[in-house]
Amino acid sequence: MARTPAREPSLDRLIDAALAASAGACIVLDEGLRVRFATASAAALLGCPIPRGVSAPALLCGDKPKRPVAEALAAGLPVHALVPRPGGDDEHLVRIRSVPLGAGSKPLGWLLALQDAGAIGSDRTVEFHGMSTRDAGMKHVFAVVQKIARSDATVLVRGETGTGKELVAQAIHRLSDRKDGPLRVINCAALPANLLESELFGHLKGAFTGAIRDTPGHVQLADHGTLFLDEVAELPLELQAKLLRMLETRTVIPVGGRDPIAVDVRVISATHRALRQEVEAGRFRADLMYRLRVIPVFLPPLRARRGDIEVLTQRFVDEFNARGKRRVDQLAPTALAALEHHDWPGNVRELRNTLEYAFAIGEGPELVAGDLPPELVEPGLDAEPMLAAAEVRPTTTEGPPEARRIAAALTRTAGNRDQAAKLLGLSRVTLWRRMRQHGLV
């Protein structure tokens, strides 16, 4: 094909339309990561013009100090990431996926497929390293994790049991430069102090009865990787002093040893407790709290993000369907209502176990309320029977299940929309919108 000396506007429009039809909003980069073509929809998504010749890392990540996406692009690694919209505030995210172009080992260039990942505050479901959510707080956590993963900063994850603390630690490790190194997990609540010390810091031969050889601890085994200290608030005070020493000097002294051994680890810790209260009660060292909590991350309990119950239910139904023993294509409205009204003290873990139970107990393509464990459906056994009871009111049995749930929540809160929105795990605006949709205004 002859080279066109000047740009041909009609050809550009044709290519734009072809790319938009096949790949959606996208940007074509040459092997030097410079923009050669961008669809109009890509510019609209990013919220800024995309000049030809501009470097993609600079366009997408600006001069931010942490630029994991830019670095991955520059290294020729596949990118699958969420970045804040360059032409907007940090609250709006764009999902980026890179596809190498050309058949050889060295790509001719890259196609960056872009997708609107929604405002952090919107209702859209996002996926992040094995986690699904449509909750604004969780999305914020994912954005923070993405930003800080490649630094070596110490992270403290707080959340009730089953909220995904370990998944967050895994995501940070996988997104970090230490991903090829080990991730060592140790539960500080699981062992008595003397065993825990040796588990953490190792021991020398003869340090105690049964110490038949020099044995490295988790800290040393996490060298060049990440150490995940689960339930860190349960660490006895004397070990807190040793952990602090390790964080300050980046060395460990095994039990029975005297010489410090240098270690290169990133520490992520987790707890279900408020560390500050532990400090105030004299059970936790303030200096260690500050060391561990450089970047605090809070995972809200499932009952505070009820919108996620449906999202996660769908996720686990898909997962269990893939096992092939039973195929569930439908969730009975009463079953979903029971799931949505339960309080989930065990959070996402409990929800997953509940669905696993339901898959095993029930039969056929519809998952019904009778498949669920009794404490979810038998009124009176549940700590918070809430909406289930309200559902039988004559005024609320009409219409689709959501309308009924909304009506029930409003009944329960005597028409207070703020409280009803809270109960349903919706924002006020979303509640209002849905009320209008269902003709409840």
Which parts of this chain interact with ligand ADP (CB under 6 A)? Answer: 131-133, 159, 161-167, 312, 315, 348-349, 352
Q: Which residue is nearest to Mg ion (CB)?
A: 166
Closest distance of CB 131 from ligand ADP, Å: 3
CA dist 271 to 158, 232, 234, 353, Å? 5, 6, 8, 22
DSSP notation for 296-338: EEEPPPGGG-THHHHHHHHHHHHHHHHH-S----EE-HHHHHH
Closest distance of CB 163 from ligand ADP, Å: 4
**Which of the listed partners (ligand ADP, Mg ion, none) does 218 bind, with a CB threshold of 5 to 8 Å by partner kind?**
none
Closer residue to Mg ion (CB): 231 or 391: 231
Closest distance of CB 113 from ligand ADP, Å: 24
Closer residue to ligand ADP (CB): 185 or 211: 185
Closer residue to Mg ion (CB): 234 or 340: 234
**Which of the listed partners (Mg ion, ligand ADP, none) does 163 bind, with a CB threshold of 5 to 8 Å by partner kind?**
ligand ADP
Contacting residues toward Mg ion, per CB under 5 A? 166
Closest distance of CB 322 from ligand ADP, Å: 14
Strand ranges (DSSP E) for 203-262? 225-230, 251-252, 261-262
End-to-end CA distance of the chain: 62
- 36-64 CB burial, b ≥16 within 10 A, e <16: ebbbebbbebbeeebeeeebbbebbbeee
Instruction: Report d(CA 137, CA 359) in Å as an integer.
Output: 30
Q: Which residue is nearest to ligand ADP (CB)?
A: 164
**Which of the listed partners (ligand ADP, Mg ion, none) does 348 bind, with a CB threshold of 5 to 8 Å by partner kind?**
ligand ADP
Pick the closest to residue 61 from 39, 36, 30, 90 (CA basis).
90
Instruction: Report d(CA 304, CA 183) in Å as an integer.
Output: 30
Alpha carbons within 13 angstroms on the beta-carbon side of residue 134 total 18
Closest distance of CB 160 from Mg ion, Å: 10
**Which of the listed partners (ligand ADP, Mg ion, none) does 101 bind, with a CB threshold of 5 to 8 Å by partner kind?**
none
Closest distance of CB 392 from ligand ADP, Å: 32
**Which of the listed partners (Mg ion, ligand ADP, none) does 167 bind, with a CB threshold of 5 to 8 Å by partner kind?**
ligand ADP
Closer residue to ligand ADP (CB): 308 or 391: 308
Closest distance of CB 157 from ligand ADP, Å: 8
3 state SS of 351 = helix
Closer residue to ligand ADP (CB): 159 or 202: 159
Closest distance of CB 316 from ligand ADP, Å: 8
Question: Which residues are 38's β-sheet partners?
Answer: 27
Closer residue to Mg ion (CB): 186 or 328: 186
Contacts of 63 (CB under 8 A, 6+ apart): none
Closer residue to ligand ADP (CB): 68 or 301: 301
Closer residue to ligand ADP (CB): 93 or 204: 93
Tokens representing 157 are: 């994850």
Instruction: Report d(CA 130, CA 205) in Å as an integer.
Output: 41
